[in-house]
């Protein structure tokens, strides 16, 4: 079990696009009755099954396992709620941190979110100038929620 | 992905007890909003994560992965609904078939179910004399439902 400590931000402008390269992600969720997340994900040609527990502050327990890509495809097709989340993830190293910038496609097109994983909840980080407002504590930006209420349906 | 084709029965008497040996199973479920099952299971000292799709007739798609037992313990403790399912599973070979007889403990104590896995939905099987009424199509006997409405709370 790992613990995920993560902060999420909106981005400003397009400068970040020149700073890293992108990989296609396709993921879906088996909807649960509580805050546990069950995620099926395909990254390039690799499949993963991930279970995440309750978020406390910015920390979240995470259990991730590689699975055959055929299993991932089958579960995305038959068991996951619609819409699936499709995005291009850009990996950007800056200021000693790894930033992951997700440019969403499909029903979440137009949304771009930058995430940074921390080793400590209180870690002080330097924000690149292309980082915008923080949305770490806004549940509608969680990928699992973007599968329920995609960005294109937001009214504010 | 495997497809599980299974029939379930009640048992008569205690004769089956002499026909196999038992292993302790502890399992729990992350409750979902549809008929998909997400199960965490410990068998002896091994952990498993299993996802099962919609049951059609007696067939059900099943995706099972071994996971570290520490992960399984952590997820059972923190993410799975109560009560957990505890049972002793007896493996009995008879008439060319493998029967699994589950003697439930905890809040399902008193319930004993025999399951047989088939290779074909229409396979004709010989029922041992210790096999009782078939319950394949009674959802309350599904392990995932025994975690919601345990046997000790049944009124009929």
B97 touches chain A (CB under 8 A): no
In a domain, A156, yes or no: no
Burial string for B51-60 (b: 16+ CB within 10 Å, else e) reads bbbebeebbb
A36 touches chain B (CB under 8 A): yes
Q: Nearest C-alpha of chain A: how many angstroms from B83?
A: 16
The number of helix segments (H) and strand segments (E) in chain B equals: 2, 9
- Inform me whether the pLDDT recorded for B121 exceeds 90: no
- Inform me whether the pLDDT recorded for B87 exceeds 90: yes
- Inform me whether the pLDDT recorded for A58 exceeds 70: no
- Quickly state the pLDDT bin for B35 (edges 50, 70, 90): confident
The set of residues, in sequence order, having a beta carbon less than 8 Å from that of B112 and lying 6+ positions away, is B10, B11, B101, B102, B103, B104
Q: Nearest C-alpha of chain B: how many angstroms from A71?
A: 6
Say how far apart CA A130 and CA A14 lie, in whole Å: 8
The whole-number pLDDT of residue B34 equals 84
pLDDT tens figures, A84-113: 999 999 999 998 999 999 999 999 999 999
Q: Nearest C-alpha of chain A: how many angstroms from B43?
A: 19
DSSP letters, B30-75, are E-BSSS-EEEEEEETTEEEEEEE---BTTEEEEEEEEE-HHHHHHH
In a domain, A101, yes or no: yes
- Quickly state the pLDDT bin for B67 (edges 50, 70, 90): very high
pLDDT tens figures, B98-112: 999 999 999 999 999
* Mutation site for B-interface testing, chosen from A31, A35, A36 by largest number of B Cβ within 10 Å: A36
The set of residues, in sequence order, having a beta carbon less than 8 Å from that of B55 and lying 6+ positions away, is B35
- Inform me whether the pLDDT recorded for B38 exceeds 90: yes
The whole-number pLDDT of residue B58 equals 67
The set of residues, in sequence order, having a beta carbon less than 8 Å from that of A126 and lying 6+ positions away, is A95, A97
Say how far apart CA A27 and CA A35 lie, in whole Å: 18
In a domain, A47, yes or no: yes
In a domain, A71, yes or no: yes
The whole-number pLDDT of residue A126 equals 93
The whole-number pLDDT of residue A77 equals 95
Q: In terms of pTM, does the model score above 0.90?
A: no
Domain of A62 in residue numbering reads as 2-151
> Number of folded domains in chain B?
1
- In this prediction, residues A12-18 reach a mean pLDDT of 94
Mean confidence (pLDDT) of chain A:
93
Q: Which helix (H) or strand (E) holds A78?
A: helix A69-78
Chain B hits for A74, Cβ within 8 Å = 1, 61, 63
- Inform me whether the pLDDT recorded for B56 exceeds 90: no
The set of residues, in sequence order, having a beta carbon less than 8 Å from that of B35 and lying 6+ positions away, is B53, B54, B55
- Inform me whether the pLDDT recorded for B16 exceeds 90: yes
In a domain, A80, yes or no: yes
The set of residues, in sequence order, having a beta carbon less than 8 Å from that of B73 and lying 6+ positions away, is B42, B47
Report the percent of chain A where pLDDT is more than 70: 99
- Inform me whether the pLDDT recorded for A73 exceeds 80: yes
Per the CB < 8 A criterion, the answer to whether B36 and A79 are in contact is yes
- Inform me whether the pLDDT recorded for A67 exceeds 80: yes
CATH number of the domain where residue A59 is located:
2.40.320.10
The whole-number pLDDT of residue B134 equals 97
Closest residue by Cα to residue A101 from A41, A13, A1, A37 = A13
């Amino acid at each position: 079990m790992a613990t995920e400590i993560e902060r999420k931000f909106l981005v400003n402008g397009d400068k970040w696009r020149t700073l890293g390269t992108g990989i296609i992600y396709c993921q879906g969720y088996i909807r649960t009755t509580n805050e546990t997340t069950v995620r099926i994900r395909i990254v390039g040609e690799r499949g993963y099954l991930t279970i995440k527990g309750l978020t406390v502050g910015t920390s979240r327990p995470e259990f991730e396992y590689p699975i055959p890509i055929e299993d991932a495809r089958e579960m995305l097709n038959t068991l996951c709620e619609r819409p699936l989340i499709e995005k291009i993830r850009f990996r950007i190293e800056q200021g000693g941190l790894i930033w992951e910038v997700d440019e969403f496609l499909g029903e979440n097109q137009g949304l771009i979110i930058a995430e940074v994983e921390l080793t400590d909840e209180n870690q002080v980080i330097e924000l690149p100038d292309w980082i915008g407002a923080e949305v770490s504590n806004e549940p509608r930006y969680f990928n699992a929620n973007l599968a329920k209420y995609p960005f294109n349906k937001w009214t504010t």
